[in-house]
Amino acid sequence: MIDDPSEHPEKFPTPETQQAERERLFALIDELVKWENSGKQEIFSRALDEIKAAVGDDLPAVLDPFAGGGTIPLEAQRLGLKAFAADLNPVAVMINKAMIELPAKFKNLPPVNPDARATIGSQSNCHGAQGLANVNCFLLDNV
């Protein structure tokens, strides 16, 4: 989604400035792919800001017509982009439903498990798919 700096000689006129920009972008990618950074929203926000700087505020949707296990649509969703996945393999379709479609439907909602709702209440502060997974949801009063 972000062009190589050599595509914009008006911004990066020399090979040195182009390489410096590439290295800056690669450093951001390096931060994104580290497992320990998977929950750090500020890194994903920085990446989304880079995408917006490249394409504008009207973000494109991502379509993966041969999605398989859904890695590309999942990462697109994590960046805040709308993602669509398709595959001919019914097993891959079910994996995509479980990883991409269902968590998106329950995003930022309290737990769906009735026992968990009874324990912590239905007015909980759940981020992302925490309510679906029933992990680390706290009452709004505790936040």
pLDDT digits (tens, 9 = 90+) for 19-60: 999 999 999 999 999 999 988 889 999 999 999 999 999 999
**95 and 116 assigned to the same domain:** no
**73 and 120 assigned to the same domain:** no
| Mean pLDDT, the chain, integer | 84
**44 and 1 assigned to the same domain:** yes
Domains identified in the chain, total number: 3
**94 and 127 assigned to the same domain:** no
**5 and 18 assigned to the same domain:** yes
CA distances, 75 to each of 14, 16, 52, 55 (Å): 32, 30, 16, 18
Range of the domain at 114: 106-143
**118 and 143 assigned to the same domain:** yes
